[in-house]
Chain A
Amino acid sequence: MSHPDKPYIPDRNKVAPMDRFSLAKLLRQGFAGQTGWGAQWRAPERPEAAYDVVIVGGGGHGLATAYYLAKEHNIRRVAVIERGWIGGGNTGRNTTIIRSNYLMPESAALYDHSVKLWETLSQQLNYNVMYSPRGVLMLAHNVHDVQSAMRHIHANRLAGVDNEWLDPAQVKAFCPPLNVGGPLRYPILGGALQRRGGTARHDAVAWGFARAASALGVDIVQNCAVTGLKRDATGAISGVETTRGDIACKKVGVVAAGHTSVVMAMAGVRMPLESYPLQALVSEPVKPAFPCVVMSNTIHAYISQSDKGEMVIGAGTDAYTSYSQTGGLHIATQTLDAICELVPQFRRLRMLRNWGGIVDLSPDRSPILSKTDVAGLYVNSGWGTGGFKATPGSGNVFAHTIAHDEPHPINAPFSLARFDTGLLIDEAAAAAVAH
């Protein structure tokens, strides 16, 4: 499509202050017919010829990386190159769960770094991302689940991450719609509650980071696909080829989620990743009927209610790798089996929308936030089914990694090299085995 965009040449050393949002401005605009709002972020038609850093992928993580590069490291000659529209991938397709009650100290540190940023993100970005710490309750259905939950709770408490055990009566009190004590195939034996966990508005995260990054001079180029990564004689990164022109740059951060393997292959790097379809669905909106986020890993049910009133339900991944962004009906029906077990009064609700995203799974199901063997090439990937919660923290430490060419202490363990050395951060293994 063609826009009558005027060419924009930002003076990155003296960037105009962001057009601030406020209630007063909203009211003033109310009397003016809301006609005074400008574009929330600049959308150059094509990238410039050169940048200090190019971020491949305009999802939440990529935009956050660009924002923190500009904000915390004063690197403002940054372009975010997005194949489609910002936030159109997993950022806009996930079930928006935020929590940090991970078992491994490395994971808890990474995700809690993120939760702390979530707490003031709306104010930081001057964009209401609707962070809602309404509590994430992870259910236990058998003795092994209880043991696993207790281990998480003890480990989290020692690491300063809130997580507490609720017995069945406390589960019922915290989340009255749950079928506690009912004739469940796998009864609810209790749950681990992280009160600071919750949800946020996914689109707002992408748009808020885009707007704040743009105000600091970052260029966000949409409908622009990366077609090649250029390397110089030493093998180091020297530029990016795109469908809207070539870019010279010394540093590239690849934050392409399900497409990471495809982009990294352009630099000859094979990734320990597989991309799977992940489905989610929502019900028709109803008045408030579900107060918190409930997750059950054992029977695969993930549910919360959006501010609009829809029950937001996470389904499983399909069995095979795919880039089709669709999935089988049986995956959705299995998910609803579990939801109807846990909340049998919701059987009469109706599925309004069912969609798929592409998630990149790493072998230990932990992310990769890492330098690579190619100088100037950095990768942020492998978030699997749970990347949304990490958006600000991921961008924050990844920006540090790119700016310093060294990982931040928080993401140092999440290196690509761990798959050679065996120093995995295996969250899944800790919970998956039944005896």
Chain B
Amino acid sequence: MRFTFDGADYDARPGDTLAAALLRNKIHLMGRSFKYHRPRGVLASGAEEPNALVEIDRGGARRTPNLRATVVEVFDGMVARSQNRTPSLRFDIGAVNDLLAPFLPAGFYYKTFMWPVGAWARLYEPMIRRAAGLGRAPELADTDRYTQRFAHCDVLVIGSGPAGLAAATEAAATGIRVILCDEQAAFGGSLLSDPSEALATQLAALFANPRVTMLSRTTAFGIYGDNLVGLAERVTDHLPDPHPALPRERLWQVRAKRIVVAAGAIERPLVFPGNDRPGIMLGDAARIFARRYGANPGTNAVVVTACDTGADVARDLAASGIVIARLVDLREGFRVTGTHGRLRVSSIEIDRGGTRETIACDFVAMCGGWTPSIHLYSQAGGKPRFDPGIGAFVPGTEVTGLTCVGACAGDMPPAYRAGVAPVNAEGRAFVDWQNDVTAKDLKLATREGFRSIEHVKRYTTTGMATDQGKTSNINALGIVAGALGATIPEIGLTTFRTPYTPVTFGTLAGLSRGDLFDPVRTTPMHEWEMARGAVFEDVGAWKRARYYPRQGEDMHTAVARECRLVRDTVGMFDASTLGKIEVVGPDAAEFMNRVYINAWTKLAPGRCRYGVMLGENGFVMDDGVVGRLAQDRFHVTTTTGGAARVLAFMEDYRQTEWPELRVWLTSATEQWAVIAVQGPRARDVLMPLVDGQDISAVAMPHMSVVEGTMLGIEMRLFRVSFSGELGFEVNVPADYGHAIWEAIWDRVQVYEGGAYGTEAMHVLRAEKGFIIVGQETDGTVTPDDVGLGWAIGKAKKDFIGKRSLTRSGMTGPRRQLVGLRTDDPATVLEEGAQITATIEDRRPLGHVTSAYGGTTVGHSIALAMIEDGRARVGATLQVRMPNGAIPVHVTAPVFYDPEGARLDA
């Protein structure tokens, strides 16, 4: 296999990670640090790697920054690049920061860049932002797919090292459902360095078991409530030419009865001056590169150790043909006092009792003890305890449904058990590699009064890099504890936040994009409307036809034409999105009395009433026409956006406040298609379609409802008008909506009528002064404010919101609904514009709620909510616009047919 790194061509072997392949090609320099741009090589061999972050470019939009070279699997033709360097990894001008390091200690930016006022944002911040950041964000919309799966299992085992495999094998033997996941490409964990027949047999048995799901390249990144575990599976990033049907990554949300965490442990680096040069790495990483990948990190190693792991590492490296120049055991009184080599370590200085020695080498392996990976345990609510024998936190309290096994439970071989290693904080001794935090920075923070580990972390940024402190946290704790003369448990532990390792945004978002972002709700007439060129607007999740432009028409002209149709002949309107609730039962009228401000007891079956509903706070919440179909049955309509809210609100009172009422509520919004037929010829249009139903003015006056059939189809016909004209609303079962629409359409053509959309509907209703909840009202408006005081059932003792209307704060001057006229009939006010009494006055009296030109009344109109508005009818006020004020005259809010003669036609 071939791949390129920074343009140079290299060989790789199947199964290589990028880091392993580069090391085999004798490339140690893989990255630059965040702050000082120091040259860095690989520190670790897995997901905990802080240094070797690269960009993988698969062409086009498929470029991914900040990937760990120790995790990226090489495929043939892979293009990898280093990051955070200009112009090249070897010669990075950002490294000037390293020369300035004495002046850039932890938190330096809080102490300067303050002068002159405003210079931070203009001058310093852009500079700092350019220097910060790691890789480059992708610039093109991602073309890959991401999918999501949900799964349930009896046991989820996280990690497939020896402990995880044993747990999975044992669980599988009982025949229960098991999921085994591992972040690596292959199962086996630490066993992969010494592949055995036993491992192969054990894995084969698991793969063969149909009750076991094996997920490799799958990271358990977080535990959420009630044993829900998030897994991120990398599906195609390792493939040279993935099948287009495959997603790039897959999110699993697994609900497990029991979780077994076998996440292992992470080796700790040692803190000594110059410990960050390329070629200085963790002992176990060196061993894994050499033995598992056959990629010796060098030929001549110094192993520095604070525990017995060092001897094992030295033995294993020697077995791979590496010369061990020295095994330096810090327990024998040695200190590391420095290292040399610009882009790769060339020697290391050690000291014992004043005797200094420089040892030449081409890499250094550090063994500082092991830190159990308790991230998931802690996320699940476990309280860790400090184990001085391991020098790290281990699981403490029990967590229901979760067990930690193996190294992450603190169960380690004796050689791995070691306390926190001694630190040599002189010079530049790094604790957090990626964020360039040194031991001195930590000590500075404690001197400056930052004593909680959370404060130290935030002040110095230790543990906040993309590795989230996996290799640095314990060393930082040790140094802070030392500086404060306290113990590590006294300093505490920072919170383990999700995710364990970074998770792709796309994986979490999955298929939720475009039309799948939120379900699109369409009416039965939607296709017809599309075919007629309707322009749609989003109202909640619904698509509503806003207007139907003809050739060459803009919105204004189209809406004006649609309004004229309704006023002059007949128009039809798709009102299917209106919420509909069937309120049924012997106590239905009593329920309605309590929920609405109106009185319902005396409403006769076959009659309709405009209903207004308040929240318990006394403010208008929703409105709509309600038809009484029978003594015990109401057909309630709500606003389009309010339907679900209103039903939930009603149901809350029905179940929890008034369980004694015999009444039942059913949503019927999607069951009925609703066609409004409005205009002087509306009756003529419908007459031949209603199967003999008498819809004359006498038989069916304004605000009445009948049940019958239309062309043989079940129908509820309302005589209602939101336009001010003679009007009907035809309700038919949704499946027949389109067919009935077509039939009415044919009749409308006879009278040279047409369809109109929501915009014309808005204009027509505004001409009549009808409010729209959410436009004239905003959740702070009482019925009286919008001129609906008349609707309140005066005899009713109580209804929802009534008590709130008499609170002391509701009796002062209130904003009331009025109409506004401009001097120039062509001037259309701007909705939302503020209104004052005079040009000099800046105190707002109210605002324009609705404003339209293109009306049928011959001039522009506006509705407004104005303080004491009804008392100001006839007054002149000022609408404040950016380029001056527009004088307006306050009128009653009804501009068209104030007597309502046309409604009763």
**Which residues from chain A sit less than 8 Å from chain B, CB to CB?**
1-4, 21-23, 25-27, 29-31, 33-35, 37-41, 43, 84-85, 88, 92, 105, 119-120, 122-123, 126-128, 130-134, 141-144, 147-155, 157-160, 179, 182-186, 198, 201, 203-204, 207-208, 222, 283-289, 299, 305, 307-309, 326, 328-329, 332-333, 336-341, 344-355, 363, 418, 420-424, 426, 428-430, 432-435
Contact = CB atoms under 8 A, between A and B. Distances in A.
Interface string B502-542: 11111011101111111010000000000000000111100
Contact of A286 (B66, B539, B809): B66
Contact of B807 (A34, A132, A134, A422): A422
Nearest to B106: A34
A365 to B, nearest CB: 11
B137 A287 contact: yes
Interface string B433-454: 0000000100010011111101
Contact of B448 (A38, A289, A328): A38
A350 B68 CA distance: 12
Given A123-B114, A158-B834, A186 B518 contact: yes
Given A142-B539, A348-B142, A435-B642, 19 more contacts: A1-B451, A30-B103, A30-B105, A33-B440, A34-B444, A150-B833, A154-B880, A160-B842, A285-B66, A286-B66, A287-B133, A299-B518, A309-B132, A332-B508, A333-B508, A344-B513, A351-B499, A433-B642, A434-B539
B859 to A, nearest CB: 22
A122 B114 contact: yes
Interface in B352-404: 379
Interface residues of B, number: 124
Contacts of A420: 807-808
Contacts of B844: 105, 155, 158-159
A145 B831 CA distance: 12
B834 A154 contact: yes
A348 B468 CA distance: 19
Contacts of A155: 832, 834, 844, 847
A41 B772 CA distance: 56
Contacts of B728: none
A198 to B, nearest CB: 7
A339 B774 CA distance: 27
B830 interface: yes
Contacts of B540: 434
Residue of A25, A130, A152, A208 contacting most chain B CB atoms (<10 Å): A130
Contact of B138 (A285, A328, A348, A428): A348
Contacts of B491: 1
B604 interface: no
B576 interface: no
A422 B761 CA distance: 34
B130 A287 contact: yes
Given A142-B538, A285-B132, A345 B114 contact: no
A201 B66 CA distance: 24
Of B113, B639, B780, B807, most buried by chain A (CB within 10 Å of CB) is: B780
Nearest to B498: A354
B149 interface: no
B689 to A, nearest CB: 30
Contacts of B451: 1, 3, 43
- Report which residue of B126, B468, B491 has the largest number of chain A beta carbons within 10 angstroms of its beta carbon: B126
12 contacts: A40-B449, A127-B110, A128-B114, A131-B120, A158-B836, A185-B514, A284-B66, A285-B466, A341-B513, A348-B144, A351-B505, A422-B810
A326 B497 CA distance: 9
A416 B753 CA distance: 57
A422 B509 contact: no
A206 to B, nearest CB: 10
B515 A185 contact: yes
B464 to A, nearest CB: 8
Contacts of A131: 120-121
Interface in B113-155: 113-115, 117-118, 120-121, 125-126, 128-130, 132-142, 144, 146
Contact of B133 (A39, A88, A288, A350): A288
A33 B102 contact: yes
B505 A286 contact: no
B120 A122 contact: yes
A435 B772 contact: yes
A39 B113 contact: no
Given A185-B517, A422-B618, A435-B539, A286 B449 contact: no
B102 A85 contact: no
Contacts of B379: 326
Contact of B140 (A120, A151, A287, A345): A345
Given A3-B451, A344-B513, A422 B502 contact: no
Nearest to A176: B139
Contacts of B612: none
Ranked 10 nearest A-B pairs via Cβ: A429-B779, A309-B133, A434-B641, A151-B832, A421-B809, A39-B449, A350-B502, A347-B506, A150-B832, A433-B774
B249 to A, nearest CB: 10
Nearest to B145: A347
A286 B780 contact: no
A23 B112 contact: yes
A37 B105 CA distance: 11
Contact of A435 (B137, B486, B773): B773
A430 to B, nearest CB: 4
B564 interface: no
A344 B513 CA distance: 9
A8 to B, nearest CB: 12
A33 B428 CA distance: 11
Given A3-B484, A40-B448, A150-B830, A288 B505 contact: no
B804 interface: yes
A329 B440 CA distance: 38
B108 interface: yes
Contacts of A344: 141-142, 513
Nearest to A203: B458
B774 A340 contact: no
Contacts of A37: 444, 447-448
A246 B516 CA distance: 58
A382 B217 CA distance: 45
A379 B804 CA distance: 25
A31 B832 contact: no
B222 interface: yes
Contacts of A40: 448-450
Contacts of B447: 35, 37-39
Nearest to B446: A39
A2 B448 contact: no
A85 B518 CA distance: 41
B224 A328 contact: yes
A79 B115 CA distance: 31
A420 B809 CA distance: 8
Contacts of B108: 26
B288 to A, nearest CB: 24
A434 B640 contact: yes
Contacts of A33: 102, 440
B455 interface: yes
B576 to A, nearest CB: 15
B652 interface: no
A182 B774 CA distance: 28
Interface in B11-67: 34, 61-66
B314 to A, nearest CB: 35
B485 A4 contact: yes
Residue with the highest number of chain B CB atoms closer than 10 Å, among A126, A131, A150, A434: A434
A338 B505 CA distance: 10
Contacts of A339: 505, 509
B207 interface: no
A25 B105 CA distance: 13
A435 B775 contact: yes
A286 B224 contact: no
B617 interface: yes
Nearest to B35: A308
